[in-house]
Structures are given as C-alpha cells and as structure tokens.
Amino acid sequence: MKVAIIGGGIAGCAFALNLHARGISCRVYEAVPDIKELGVGITLLPHAMREFTALGLQDTLKAAGVENTESAFFNRFGQLLYKEPRGKFAGYPFPEVGIHRGRLHAILYRTVLDRLGADAVVTGARCTGVEQDADGVTVHFQGADSVRAEIAVACDGVNSTVRKQFYPDEKIIFTGINAWRGVSKHKPILDGRTYMRVGSMRTGKIVIYPIADNIDGQGNQLINWTTEFEAEAPRMNDWNKPGKIADFFHVFKDWKFDWLDVAQMIQDSDAVLEYPMCDKDPILQWTFGRVTFAGDAAHPMYPRGSNGSAQAVIDVRVLADFLASEKDSQVALKAYETARAATTGEIVRTNRAHPPDFINIKVEELTGDKPFDNLDKYISQDELRALSDGYKRVAGFALSDVKTAAKA
C-alpha cells in the first residue's frame, strides 16, 4: 500500500478520491465503527467547490444542498449593514453551497466505496500511533492488527492522535466562547438563498443559512443556525454534544425583526449541539519522515468564515499532486508542507482576530451598539466591502484566486 489515510472524515475521504484519480493506492482507517450523518450545516465556498468539482461532485452536492446567491450582514436590531453576491452570482466559476455536514460526509464516503471498492475504508480502526523505518511506516490500532504503508497521512481531526505523538505537550486553545448550533424547519428567509450574519460575538451573534430545500413538500427549508457570544463564566464543551437552549436563549429572546423572528426559529429547532470555539497555534512542521498531517490535524481553526473544510480539501489535493509528480514520497511530503503550512497558519490567525463578521463588530463600535438612521454617517459601503475582500484574500477565495479549475 502506498498511503495509509488515518481518519475517514471530509479530509480523509477527499484525499482517497484524489489519490485514486492519480492512480495511487491507498486505504482509509476510520475510528468509528459506523459512518453516520452527524453535525449540522456547513458552507462550501467557491474554492472548496473548485476541489469537489474536480472530483466530479459539483452536481451531486448542489442537488443535496442550497446554492447561495448572496451574503448579508445585519446588526442585532435587524438592520442591514452590507450585502454582496456570492458564488456564481459574484462571477466565480463555481457555486457556493450550504449543505448538511453529515450529508456531505455521506456523499464523500459513498463515492470512495463506489470508486475504490468496498474494502477501501476500514471502520472501527482507532489509531494508537505510528512507527517508521527506512522502508515504510507501521500504523497501530486499538484491538486490531497493525498495517504497513509507504507513508501515512493523519486526517484524524483537531484531537489527532498522530499529531499528539509528535507534539505531546501541545494544548487546544479555548478562549471562552462556545457556539450553539441547530437546524430548524422554516419558510424561506429573504430570497431563500442568503447567508446571513446577525449581531456580533460581543453582544450576541447568529449565523443563518439554508441547507436543504422543500423538506416537507410544502416549500419549507431546513435552516442551519449558529449562535455565539462571550460568556462571563465560560466552560468548554465537547464536540457534537447536546446543548441547552436555556444556556444562550436569553441573549436572543427579543430578536424579532420584520424579516425574521430569530427567537422563534431557535425554539423550533429539533435539537441543539454545543461546540467549543477552539483552535491551536499554527505550526510550520507537519511532516516527520514518512508521516504528515492534513485538514484539522494540521491546522485546526475557529469555525468562522466557512474555511476549515475548504482548507482541508485543498490540502489533500495539493498533497496528492506532489505524490503523483515526485518519485520520492518523503520529498513530496516536505514539498506539501512548504506549500501549505504558512498559508493555513495565516488563516488560523485571521480567524481569531479579523473573521468575516468583523464587519458587524466594526459597525457595532462605530454606532455605539445602537440602531442607526443612516449608516453612511459612520462607514461607507466601500469600506465594508474592503473588509470583506480582505478576508477573502487571506483565505484564498478572492475572485482572482478561484479562476483556475483544480484537476483531479
């Protein structure tokens, strides 16, 4: 086996598809015994859709989600601050799509099995560590036989076992902010194709966007929403754990606008999950001989700006390219690290300090967190556009950066 892929999430499955397209043998080892459609919504920005299009999945993902036409920013009083077209409506060659994360994962997983074969993914294989020598790498698993490969790539997420082996004293950075996420059945909001950011994390923020159309035959959509704010007594929750509306609803209970009753939408959610807003300090060394990291194992970042999944699928395509073009696989791993580590490190730092919703924070500061009669008295639309464009440039999805199609 050429490549052992540790972790069968979005990054691991996308990597397997990229390797298969280049004729490189691989197998995916996933810790959980059964792949389930977990999580809530995720937005696939144009640079992410560029990667999935190269894998032949654009039409499938569009059909499974909702294509966004625009992004809109509002203050916590429901007043529009700024809006801009998105995806193909902004001139990109690729769409921007909101989709259920579990559905995205399921599509990737099924595609791996269809293209690589039923034995391409080994589930219930929890990695406990790796060992390497001059000839290859041995991947060890809990309660199962070890496997040998030429190289191993850790796609095992923010709590990566493999990364911990090389960085044993590293800590997850939690800054005291938890996010509560849910999905609600709701009639289309605005045009039914808008990604909305309302308020700021300082006084309460909610991100809202549709992820599935006409889920009941009556025209209602499945709406993803994510709230966050700075708590006085923060506690770090685990991932994909149930949350309680009572822990955050007091911030949003009076958010009733002429275009949306936010409080009612939250209350209509079937289930709520609580996530910690965590990342890790960027590292410049991902590669150790025959082992390297990808996706959240390489650069865990705040879930802001819809960029974590995009950077993961870019990682694995770039790595697959180097493995296909370089005879020495260890040289390929180092070239990949050089190409991606500094770039993603800058995104991690930007998501901390100046995420896309910095627009909301800036307006809140300028207006004194009060309703306004004329926003131009405080800041122009051109200045707000510059803030939005600045994040796109750092994150790698400025229009000029996404003109060229990726190749699988």
Structural domains present in the chain: 3-43+105-172+281-353 (3.50.50.60)
pLDDT at 407: 53
Residue 134 · residue 289 · CB < 8 Å: no
pLDDT at 394: 73
Range in 110-114, 134-138, 241-245, 335-339 with the lowest mean pLDDT: 241-245
Rg from Cα positions in the chain: 21
Residue 300: pLDDT band with limits 50, 70, 90: confident
Average pLDDT of span 350-354 = 72
Percent of the chain at pLDDT exceeding 90: 72
| Helix, strand, coil share (%) of the chain residues, nearest 5 | 35, 25, 40
Residue 352: pLDDT band with limits 50, 70, 90: confident
| Residue at 392: amino acid letter | K
CA triplet 255, 258, 262: central angle to 5 degrees? 30
**Does residue 124 carry a pLDDT above 80?**
yes
Token pair recorded at residue 307: 């960029």
Query: The dihedral of CA 12, 281, 401, 91: what is its sign?
Result: positive
| Residue at 56: amino acid letter | G
Contacts for 378-386: CB closer than 8 Å, 24+ residues apart: 381/82, 384/73, 384/81, 384/82, 384/359, 385/82, 385/84
Q: Which residues contact 302 (CB under 8 A, 6 or more apart)?
A: 277, 278, 279, 348, 351, 352, 355
DSSP of 215-272: TTSSS-EEEEEEEEEE-SS--PPPTTEE--GGGTHHHHTT-B-SS-BHHHHHHT-S-E
Average pLDDT of span 188-202 = 94
Residue 355: pLDDT band with limits 50, 70, 90: low
Residue 73 · residue 205 · CB < 8 Å: no
Tell me which residue of 162, 169, 167 sits closest to 140, measured CA to CA: 162
Phi, psi (rounded to 5 degrees) for 142: -75, 120
Residue 16: pLDDT band with limits 50, 70, 90: very high
pLDDT at 155: 97
**Gap between the Cα atoms of 306 and 295, Å rounded:** 13
Element (H, E) at 129: strand 127-132
Tell me which residue of 95, 10, 101, 11 sits closest to 58, measured CA to CA: 95
Q: What is the largest CA-CA distance in the chain?
A: 70
Range in 69-78, 266-275, 284-293, 336-345 with the lowest mean pLDDT: 266-275
Average pLDDT of span 287-300 = 96
pLDDT at 178: 76
**Does residue 307 carry a pLDDT above 90?**
no
**Gap between the Cα atoms of 92 and 85, Å rounded:** 10
pLDDT at 229: 74
The strand order across the sheet containing 3-6 reads 121-122, 26-29, 3-6, 151-154, 291-293
* Cα 92 from chain centre: 20
Name residue 209's beta-bridge partners. Answer: 224
Q: What SS3 state is found at 176?
A: strand
Tell me which residue of 201, 208, 259 sits closest to 71, measured CA to CA: 208
Average pLDDT of span 273-298 = 90
Residue 404: pLDDT band with limits 50, 70, 90: low
**Gap between the Cα atoms of 91 and 283, Å rounded:** 34
pLDDT at 309: 87
Neighbours of 239 (CB within 10 A): 14
What's the chain's average pLDDT? 91
**Gap between the Cα atoms of 18 and 14, Å rounded:** 6
Average pLDDT of span 111-140 = 97
Alpha-carbon distances, residue 128 vs 27, 72, 87, 291, 362 (angstroms): 17, 44, 41, 14, 45
Residue 278 · residue 173 · CB < 8 Å: yes
Residue 326 · residue 313 · CB < 8 Å: no
pLDDT at 389: 87
